[in-house]
Amino acid sequence: MKHSGYDGASVPRLAWTLSGITPDGLIRAAALIHDWIYNHAGALPPGSQHYRRDGQWCATHGRWSRREADHLFARIMREAGVSRFKRRVAFIGVRLFGWFSWNC
């Protein structure tokens, strides 16, 4: 792993100006989870991911792909109320440049 911390949404300053996306605000929650998955290259520690089915919490032990992590990032941004334009720009950014951080 490259680092074990959370650095917020890794948005280059030039992109802040062009897109209006900043590393805080509504995008922050999506970036936190996205960074967590990336920091573990999709192989999350045991007990760190659960889902709810039929009123009970169930553990899952599957490995996340980079694509799945990026789609989750987009979904969380959508559910947090990030505008469609900003979601799209952020999603394209992680799809194009996320491989720099994956498996580090």
Least Cα distance to 27 among 51, 8, 55 occurs for 8
Q: Average pLDDT for residues 55-78, to the nearest whole number?
A: 88
Residue, of 35 and 101, whose pLDDT is higher: 35
Which of 18-22, 24-28, 40-44, 51-55 is predicted with the least confidence, judged by mean pLDDT?
18-22
Which sign does the torsion angle of CA 21, 96, 49, 53 carry?
Answer: positive
pTM of the complete model beyond 0.85? no
The tokens of 65 are what?
């792909």
The full set of domain ranges for the chain reads: 13-100
Mean pLDDT over 11-24 rounds to 57
103 Cβ neighbours under 8 A, 6+ residues apart = 41
pLDDT at 1 over 60: no
Q: What is the pLDDT of residues 44-59, one digit of tens each?
A: 887 777 777 888 887 7
Separation CA 14–CA 97 (nearest Å):
15
* Structure token pair of residue 36: 């967590």
